[in-house]
């Protein structure tokens, strides 16, 4: 098993811990490099009460390159492209560091829902 697969497996397990109550993540068709995530905005968010589905594509170079992430659920947000659902956050590009996890990334994405 490659180090990338081990890391993704560990990070997916971590997202089931209580501190990640704002999201859930599952592999699409048992493919660890193609994930479906759900975001549950907090009660203080104007998006509260909605559930947002995201698609994450994990590159082979993970964690040295960030996942490609987009909203599948339509959302009106200044950081989300209205047609593609792609998210404009530094952490998804030059701001990515290998110490970030999938759960950390989803937390930052959830942060744009305030």
Known catalytic residues are 88
Q: Which helix (H) or strand (E) holds 11?
A: helix 3-14
Strand, helix or coil for residue 9: helix
CB 7 within 8 A of CB 64: no
Distance CA(61)–CA(52), nearest Å, equals: 27
Is the sign of the CA dihedral 54, 106, 36, 93 positive or negative?
positive
Task: Name the E strands within 16-97.
Answer: 23-28, 31-39, 52-57, 68-71
């Amino acid at each position: 098993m490659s180090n990338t697969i081990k890391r993704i497996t560990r990070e997916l397990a971590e997202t089931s811990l209580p501190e990640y109550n704002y999201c859930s993540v599952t592999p699409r068709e048992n493919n660890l490099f193609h994930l479906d995530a759900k975001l549950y905005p907090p009660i203080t968010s104007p998006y509260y009460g909605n559930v947002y589905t995201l698609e994450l594509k994990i590159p082979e170079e993970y964690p040295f390159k960030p996942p490609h992430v987009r909203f599948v659920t339509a959302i009106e947000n200044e950081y989300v492209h209205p047609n593609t659902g792609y998210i404009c956050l530094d952490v998804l590009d030059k701001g990515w560091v290998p110490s970030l996890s999938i759960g950390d990334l989803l937390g930052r994405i959830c942060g744009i829902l305030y």
